[in-house]
């Protein structure tokens, strides 16, 4: 929590000028003047250092290194690339999925096995989630110079197809690894949850309504806890 909060703070410190140009971020503390850049910088650095030190001292060094690596990947790779290429989403999905590995390392002292399945699920989930957000705030991003969507995709059709494709792949990934050992109830929950999410992505792909992009975002934040909760319940009972 400390490292993630520090990362978010430093991200806003780095992007103050761009946040000022976008309606959805114009009231953030730095932009509105409620905090100074110096205050935000020291606050972000303190949170991040405290989180890394706490993990190293009370959990293990592996989890601390993964957490700090996540911070560096987000701030030094994803953040600057947002103004250069739509591929920033691909690279940004790596630090976005890293908390799964941090948690696994905290519990086991390393990463391996099913930790990569959790990583893969979080990695794939971010594409329909954040691409829908990119569609929703396309004009805002364009004003600030963020290249979240490809320039050739003016109508958003390519991005909508991407969203559906990633939702399908995500559904398959949640089903296949446990197909031979999870049981019918597990498979049914994963299938129904996946179809719920896929339904909303397909509705978006077939329409020009911005409201449907918002519904995909909301569906994604309902879908992920169901998947993770089901996986946790299966692990506890197996």
How many other C-beta atoms lie within 10 A of the C-beta of residue 159?
A: 22
Residues 2 and 42 in one domain: yes
Provide the pLDDT for residue 181: 59
| 162: Cα separation from own chain's centroid | 16
Contact 166, 127 (CB under 8 A): yes
- Number of structural domains (the chain) is 2
217 located within any domain: yes
Are residue 119 and residue 54 in the same domain, yes or no? no
Express each pLDDT in 103-130 by its tens digit: 999 999 989 878 898 999 999 999 999 9
Q: What does residue 178 show for φ and ψ, rounded to 5 degrees?
A: -115, 10
- Provide the domain limits for residue 15: 1-84
Tell whether 78 is covered by a domain.
Answer: yes
Residue 147 has φ and ψ, to the nearest 5°, of -100, 65
Whether residue 127 sits in one domain with residue 238: yes
Q: List C-alpha distances in Å: 82 to 75, 77, 141, 208.
A: 11, 9, 10, 24
Same domain, 26 and 127: no
Would residue 107 count as lying in a domain? no
Question: How far apart are alpha carbons 64 and 45 in whole angstroms?
Answer: 15
> Does 101 reside within a domain?
no
Statement to judge: residues 120 and 227 lie in one domain = yes
pLDDT one-digit tens code per residue, 199-224: 999 999 999 888 899 999 999 999 99
pTM, 2 dp? 0.90
């Amino acid at each position: 929590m400390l490292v993630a909060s520090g990362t978010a703070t430093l991200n806003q410190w780095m992007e103050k000028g761009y946040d000022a140009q976008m309606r959805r971020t114009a009231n953030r503390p730095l932009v509105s003047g409620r905090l100074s850049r110096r205050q935000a910088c020291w606050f972000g650095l303190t949170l991040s250092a405290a989180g890394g030190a706490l993990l190293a001292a009370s959990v293990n060094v592996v989890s601390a290194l993964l957490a700090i690596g996540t911070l560096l990947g987000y701030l030094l790779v994803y953040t600057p690339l947002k103004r250069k290429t739509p591929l920033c989403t691909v690279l940004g999905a790596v630090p976005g999925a890293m908390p799964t590995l941090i948690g696994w390392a905290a519990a086991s002292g390393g990463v391996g096995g099913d930790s990569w399945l959790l990583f893969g699920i979080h990695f794939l989930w971010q594409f329909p989630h954040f691409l829908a957000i990119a569609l929703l705030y396309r004009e805002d991003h364009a004003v600030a110079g963020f290249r979240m969507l490809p320039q050739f995709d003016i109508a958003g059709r390519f991005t909508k197809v991407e969203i559906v494709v990633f939702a399908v792949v995500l559904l398959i990934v949640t089903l296949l690894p446990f197909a031979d050992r999870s049981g019918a109830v597990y498979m049914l929950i994963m299938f129904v949850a996946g179809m719920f999410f896929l339904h909303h992505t397909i509705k978006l792909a077939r329409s020009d309504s911005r409201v449907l992009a918002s519904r995909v975002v909301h569906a994604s934040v309902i879908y992920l806890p169901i998947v993770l909760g089901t996986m946790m319940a299966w692990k506890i009972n197996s």
